[in-house]
Amino acid sequence: MSNAMNRRKFLGAAGAATATGLLAGCAPAMSMAPKANLDATIFNFALNLEYLEAAFYLAAVGRLQELDAAGGDSSKVILPAGFTGRNGDGVKFDSADVRAYANEVATDELNHVKIIRKVLGAAAVSQPTLDLGPAFAAAGSAASGGAITGFNPFANDLFFLHGAFIFEDVGVSAYKGAARFLSDASAGGNLENAAGILAVEAYHAGMIRTLLYQQRNTDVTPALKVADVVQAISNLRDSVDGASDVDQGIVEGGAANIVLADGNGIAYSRTPRQVGNIVFLAPGATKGGFYPDGLSGDFSAILAL
């Protein structure tokens, strides 16, 4: 088990995603109207991923029905058996602080869906089918070497935090990686607004990493502590996104590692293809994982970048 937890290149499903990234909520301001074909493609990719993040957080706080009014489709969200995520049926949080965090981020991600759809207008893609049930279970099993079966991020506070960790870091690296492909660098344009959302996603990621670090020595199973499971999720993301090593757990060299950055203090980048590898839970895939039927739209142009 310890060998499985420590290898950086761990073959299996990466429970990561959401990512996020381009994920994270890619259309912050009303002035951010896509002007170039590649810009619009990137924002639609981001919209697919924002649907996922919004669905996850809204379900966690029992507000999934709000996704419908924002242009999503809550009926196309697969959840664990017996859990609706609607009308107050969310995670039974023990911590008021974690509940407050979840509600705040749910609102952020819902607003990202709304604004991206608004700036894209008729070009906005519809919500694909989203898997927030079996995909998490597969990721949890792989991350724990089979020690955790049936992982459900809506079961309790701690599992919710692990589920959120799967998403948030990917969003930061994906958004940073997408920045160089955006063409509108004018004041108030796509690049500036994308940088603003990247900052918001980094706040989210830092909050999640801090909350998990505070419980780093808490037992998840008799053999695994929180820090172990977080490290394994990080390893899994690295194992499927490609040859690079751009992920880290919450403890490095025995010290706190809240900020995920390289030796220069700079956030890592992922290409759209690397993000796709993570959200589909397999290198080179175009569907599967959190998107069992694939994304809505044609993203062959940016997945080749």
pLDDT tens digits in sequence order for the chain, 305 residues long: 344 444 343 333 333 333 333 333 433 443 445 444 688 898 899 999 999 999 999 999 999 999 999 999 999 999 999 999 999 999 999 999 999 999 999 999 999 899 889 878 999 999 999 999 999 998 888 777 777 888 999 999 999 999 999 989 998 998 899 888 878 777 767 778 778 888 898 999 999 999 999 999 999 988 899 999 999 999 989 988 888 889 999 999 999 999 999 999 999 999 999 999 999 988 999 999 999 999 999 999 898 87
Which helix or strand (DSSP H or E) is residue 127 part of? Answer: none
Amino acid, single-letter form, for residue 234: S
Q: What is the DSSP letter of 123?
A: G
CA 121 vs CA 38, 158, 239: distances in Å = 16, 38, 37
The pTM assigned to this predicted structure is 0.86
Q: DSSP H helical segments within the chain, as ranges?
A: 2-6, 37-60, 66-69, 96-120, 134-143, 157-179, 190-214, 226-241, 272-279, 300-303
| β-strand partners of 255 | 252
Domain holding 101, by residue range, is: 2-303
Residue 225 tokens read as 């502590």
Phi, psi (5° rounding) for residue 255?
A: -110, 160
Q: How many domains are there within the chain?
A: 1
Residue 259: how many CB atoms within 10 A of its CB? Answer: 13
Phi and psi at 151, nearest 5°, equal -55, 130
